[in-house]
Each structure stands twice: as C-alpha cells, then as structure tokens.
Amino acid sequence: MSKYYVDKFLYTVDRDPELLRRYKEDPRALVTTWEQSIGPKLNDYERSTVHSLTDAEREALIRHDYVALFEMGAHFFLSLTIFIALYDEEYMAKHGPLSFQREFAAKLSHWAGKEYPSVAT
C-alpha cells in the first residue's frame, strides 16, 4: 500500500489541466502513463524507484472511485478537489449546485459517526 503514491497521483494530475483532461477522458490510459513516466519523477532529471501502486489503488484511481480512495486514506482535500474538477460541472447542469458534493457525501454515509481511515502518510 502506498497512500503517498496515491496522493502523488491526485496531486500531480489535479495541478495540470492537460493531465486532468486525460484523466477524465481515458482514466486507464492516463494511470498507465502516469505510472510509467510521471509518478517516478523526483524532478525534471532525477527518478525515484521507491513507490508503486497496488492493484487495488490502481483500480480505484482508474474507476474514479472516491469511496475506495477515502477508505484507503487518500488525502481528503486532494480527493475532493480532483473529483469536483471532473464532475461538478455536469452535475450542476443536471441536478443543480452542490449536487455532486452531496452525492459524494452520501456515498460515504456509512462512515458517519465512525473514526475515518487515517490520511497520515
């Protein structure tokens, strides 16, 4: 398990409009590309060999599965921000303001009143 690497995916994709577009249009292709050439980047030249995604983490990212990501302890701010970027506009047009955010909350309702999975890395 690498919460850090899941967070790195969310962080690097959310801050780049082109990666974000590709993550929306073809998540499987973008996750593959990310694991090959973006995730290992320490800076423009240096590469890190330390982290990798587990199968469950990879699938959760490919499926835009924010419930699974919450349960793995992905950072809440990164997860909320990136999925708002992917879904808020279309939900807003169909169902009105905050409808995506409220569906997001409802899908996690089984966690209400419980201790959440830790986001500490």
Partner 1 sequence: MATLAAVLASTHHPFYLKATTAPPEQQMPQAAEWKRKVEAYRETLTRAEPDILVMVGADHFHQFFLDNYPTFLIGKAPRYDATFYNEEREFGLPKYVLEGHEELSGYMLQGLLDREFDFAFSNELKIDHSIICPIITVRPQADLPVVPIYANIFAPPLPSPKRFWKLGRAIREIIDAYPSDKRIAAIGTGHLSLELGGPRQFGEHGPDPEFDRQAIEWLANGDIEAILANVTHESLAKAGNATAGFMDMILMLGIAGPEKAAYVDNLDLFHTMEAYFTWYPEGAAA
What residues line the site for partner 1 (CB under 8 A)? 4, 7-8, 11, 14-17, 42, 66, 70, 75-81, 84-85, 98, 101-102, 104-106, 108-112, 115-116, 118-121
Tell me, letter by letter, the H, E, C secondary structure of the chain.
CCHHHHHHHHHHHHCCHHHHHHHHHCHHHHHHHHHHHHCCECCCCCECCCCCCCHHHHHHHHCCCHHHHHHHCCCHHHHHHHHHHHHHHHHHHHHCCCHHHHHHHHHCHHHCCCCCCCCCC
The minimum distance between CB 33 and partner 1, in angstroms, equals 20
d(CA 78, CA 62): 16
Q: How far is the CB of 103 from partner 1 (least distance, A)?
A: 10
Nearer to partner 1, 16 or 26 (CB): 16
Residue nearer to partner 1 on the CB measure, 52 or 77: 77
Tell me the closest approach of the beta carbon of residue 13 to partner 1, in angstroms. 10
49 vs 118 by CB, closer to partner 1: 118
**Distance of closest approach, residue 82 Cβ to partner 1, in angstroms:** 9
